[in-house]
């Protein structure tokens, strides 16, 4: 099968096409013919083998990805596609099902024509694709939306909470704004002036430009502050909390849970959760997609189309 591999850490040039053996699903695994994947900020760190701004986190990252060179040479942390074959012990999926999910912790990512995913287990999550979403949209939902939901739950979000979402225009940010609305919270989105309309269009009660306003000096106070991009120190945001306020950041560990995807299905079918797509690239232009995401200003999500039918 055709795949894009990286045999060394480095610039987008390390991403190269290669022929790999087609995986064979075992036991509880599904063989998925991949339709789309994405480029997230996390994919960029894995390709570089460097966690920005932290030697400690870089060491932890390399323990996971490989000390001197990548242990798992195919990137693509999330996917959508069609089940082509199933292992003997699969119970929840059938050949032909449209699915989406993550490849976190698995041997191989989704920058390839096929990927094997366990139907349940400790690594990777997979669910039926919401029919309201295209394959391209579905491939960008799991990581950003699960990260956002995990952090909102950590913050014990409640109806009527006032929440400030700093960095509301990236993948995690755009999902966090929409999900916080589902909990009945009042969202103040912080993004660049260019993205104010985007933040309001996805449900922010108000949007403030970080490049026009001194955010640490805002007069307002919030029940929750959610840092969705990690570009401002916690010490500058925490004074904006009320006394009982809660601070959460994408710099902390989050976890993927399959039942989150079930909740997303409900919000999506009610028309209250929709991926924001910035750009779409074919698999053979994945280097260009990485170059774009590396600039740090994508609006929502960037899709990689692996196969268009
Ligand atoms: N903890 C976890 O498990 C986990 C999971 C997923 C992601 N993450 C992390 O979450 C972060 C966000 O990832 P992402 O994929 O959503 O987006 P991203 O590619 O890291 O960020 C894109 C967004 O950041 C905004 N931005 C850039 N500089 C900013 C600044 N100084 N202040 C406010 N916003 C700024 C940009 O908006 P403008 O163009 O308007 O500036 C753009 O919309 C990354 O650090 C990622 O690694 C963590």
Residue pLDDT, tens place only, 157-186: 999 999 999 999 999 999 999 999 999 999
> What local confidence, expressed as pLDDT, does residue 31 receive?
98
**Mean pLDDT value of segment 264-273:** 96
pLDDT at position 158, please? 97
> Atom 13 in ligand 1: which residue has the minimum CA distance?
41
Cβ(300)–Cβ(22) below 8 Å? no
93 Cα to the center of ligand 1, angstroms: 34
Instruction: Determine the pLDDT at residue 198.
Output: 98
CATH number of 144-249: 3.40.50.720
CATH pick for 2-141+275-305 out of 3.40.50.720, 3.90.180.10, 3.40.50.300, 1.10.3720.10: 3.90.180.10
164 in helix, strand or coil? Answer: strand
Ligand 1 probe mutation, 140, 176, 229, 249, most atoms within 8 A of CB: 229
Q: Which residues of 162-192 are buried (b: 16+ CB within 10 A; e: fewer)?
A: bbbbbbbbbbbbbbbbbbbbbbebbbbbbbb
d(CA 308, CA 226) in angstroms, rounded, equals 36
- Spans of all domains in the chain: 2-141+275-305, 144-249
172 in ligand 1 pocket by Cβ < 6 Å? yes
Q: Is residue 156's pLDDT more than 90?
A: yes
- Residue 105: left (phi > 0), alpha (psi -120 to 50), or beta? left
Tokens matching residue 33: 């013919």
Nearest CA to ligand 1 atom 20: 41
Q: Is the pLDDT of residue 193 over 90?
A: yes
Residue 123 has pLDDT above 90, yes or no: no
Give the distance (Å) from ligand 1 centre to CA of residue 190. Answer: 12
To the nearest whole percent, how much of the chain has pLDDT over 90?
96
Q: Is 48 a pocket residue for ligand 1 (Cβ < 6 Å)?
A: no
CA–CA distance, 96 with 68 (Å, rounded to integer)? 39
CA–centroid distance, 244 to ligand 1, in Å, is 26
Q: What are phi and psi of 49, to 5 degrees?
A: 70, 25
């Amino acid at each position: 099968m055709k795949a894009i591999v990286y045999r060394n850490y480095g610039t987008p040039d390390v991403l190269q096409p290669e022929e790999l053996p087609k995986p064979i699903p075992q036991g509880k695994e599904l063989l998925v013919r991949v339709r789309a994947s994405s480029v997230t900020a996390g994919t960029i760190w894995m390709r570089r083998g460097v966690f920005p701004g932290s030697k400690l986190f870089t060491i932890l990252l390399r323990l996971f990805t490989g000390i001197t060179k990548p242990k798992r040479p195919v990137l693509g942390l999330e996917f959508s596609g069609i089940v082509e074959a199933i292992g003997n012990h699969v119970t929840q999926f059938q050949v032909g099902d449209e699915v989406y999910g993550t490849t976190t912790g698995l041997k191989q990512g989704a920058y390839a024509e096929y990927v094997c995913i366990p139907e349940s287990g400790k690594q990777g999550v997979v669910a039926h694709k919401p029919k309201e979403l295209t394959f391209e949209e579905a491939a960008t939902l799991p990581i950003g939306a699960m990260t956002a939901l995990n952090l909102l739950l950590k913050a014990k979000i409640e109806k009527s909470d006032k929440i400030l979402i700093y960095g509301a225009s990236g993948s995690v940010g755009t999902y966090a704004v929409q999900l916080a609305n589902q909990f009945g919270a009042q969202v103040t989105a912080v993004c660049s002036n260019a993205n104010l309309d985007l933040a309001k269009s996805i449900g922010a009660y108000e949007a403030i430009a970080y490049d026009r306003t001194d955010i640490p000096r805002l007069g307002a106070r919030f029940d929750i502050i959610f840092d969705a991009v990690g570009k401002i120190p916690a010490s500058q945001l925490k004074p904006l909390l009320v006394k009982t306020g809660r601070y959460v950041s994408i710099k902390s560990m989050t976890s993927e849970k399959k039942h989150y995807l079930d909740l997303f299905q409900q919000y999506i079918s009610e028309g209250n959760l929709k991926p924001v797509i910035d750009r779409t690239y074919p698999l053979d232009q994945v280097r260009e997609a990485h170059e774009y995401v590396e600039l740090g200003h994508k609006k929502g999500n960037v899709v990689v189309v692996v196969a268009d039918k």
